[in-house]
Amino acid sequence: MKSIKSPSADKEKRLSFLVQILARDIDAKMKAKLKERQTDVKLFQSLTLLSQRDGINQRTLAKKLQLPDYITSRKVNALVKAEYVRRDLDPTNRRAHVLYLTNAGKARLLELNEAAKGIDCLYLNALANEDKEILMELLIKISEK
């Protein structure tokens, strides 16, 4: 008689399962690390997106963050108040605003990136340098789909 393999035996070989486990663990550690620095994941993501696409409007930022406009507006207000972001009228649309990272915002992002690197190291230090590079290349390739 042929034995039937348990479905749970293969789950650790599925990308979706492994990524989900890692994502939850990384997310929890990242939230704790950012909380120590009096910030949250969405503010960190906002600063990161603005560093990559300085001069985008609030609506585009909301879409990239997958947040409703009113929540994005609150996050942007907090960033402006902290002087991490400058908000200007959009020259092509007087009812819209474009966002720019300030020098203080860039400095804050560098600090937060150091915290993120610490989290990355918790996972990546188990790998050889060549394996780290391969893993990152593969993850980037998959994420760009």
Tokens of 28: 């929890």
Task: Assess if CATH 1.10.10.10 describes domain 18-143.
Answer: yes
> How far is residue 111's CA from residue 68's CA, in Å, rounded to a whole number?
27
Confidence band, pLDDT 50/70/90 cuts, at residue 103: very high
Q: What is the pLDDT of residues 81-98, one digit of tens each?
A: 999 999 998 888 888 889
φ and ψ of 87, to 5 deg:
-115, 120
Map residue 82 onto helix, strand or coil.
coil
Mean pLDDT of 6-27: 80
Q: Pseudo-torsion of CA 7, 11, 12, 13, nearest 10°? A: 100
- Position 90 scores a pLDDT of 86
Confidence band, pLDDT 50/70/90 cuts, at residue 138: very high
